[in-house]
């Protein structure tokens, strides 16, 4: 029992201490997901990925709405905020594992905003579908 407890504590500390990968905007897009199945994005729209969030309104209004949604979700920290970019850390409830989520907002000429996103676990190979479920929830909340 003591060994199991030590193992769980070690996992929790590792999940909290892993440094974030290189994130941010590459050219005019978010960086691609790695080959591991613990990342989802709206950029490539490949297998398993989901569409970007579309909003009929300005980038500034879309960003405020997105920030409101993010702040309503548990265990979130906005790490970086720019006019067209947000980086957020989501922590798991049990062990505090961190998922890095990025949002890139682009404005079209007809006052519509597209929000691309990338959500990836910092640790491990599988996220058991957590990132995809989170982004579906954010997308659904954004549509309300």
pLDDT in tens, the chain (144 residues): 665 554 454 454 444 446 666 788 877 889 888 888 899 999 865 556 789 999 999 999 999 999 999 999 999 999 999 999 999 999 998 888 999 999 999 998 888 999 999 999 998 888 999 999 999 999 999 987
Query: What's the pTM?
Result: 0.83
* Greatest Cα-to-Cα distance within the chain, rounded to the nearest angstrom: 62
Query: Phi, psi at residue 143, to the nearest 5°?
Result: -75, -10
What is the helix (H) or strand (E) element at residue 65, kind and residue range?
A: helix 59-72
Residues 122/97, Cβ–Cβ less than 8 Å: yes
CB-CB contact of 116 with 29 (8 Å): yes
Beta partners for 119? 40, 101
Bridge partners, residue 106, by sequence: 114
Interatomic CA distance for residues 115 and 54, integer angstroms: 6
């Amino acid at each position: 029992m003591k060994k199991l407890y030590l193992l769980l504590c070690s996992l929790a500390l590792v999940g909290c201490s892993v440094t974030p990968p290189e994130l941010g905007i590459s050219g005019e897009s978010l960086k691609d997901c790695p080959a591991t199945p613990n990342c989802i994005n709206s950029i490539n729209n490949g297998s398993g990925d989901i569409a970007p969030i579309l909003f009929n309104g300005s980038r500034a209004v879309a960003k405020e709405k997105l920030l409101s949604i993010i702040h309503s979700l548990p265990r979130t920290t906005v790490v970086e905020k720019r006019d067209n970019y947000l980086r957020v850390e989501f922590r798991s409830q049990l062990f505090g594992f961190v998922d890095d989520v990025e949002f890139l907002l682009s404005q079209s000429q007809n006052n519509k905003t597209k929000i691309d996103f990338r959500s990836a676990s910092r640790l491990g190979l599988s996220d058991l579908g957590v990132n995809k479920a989170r982004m579906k929830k954010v997308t659904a909340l954004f549509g309300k």
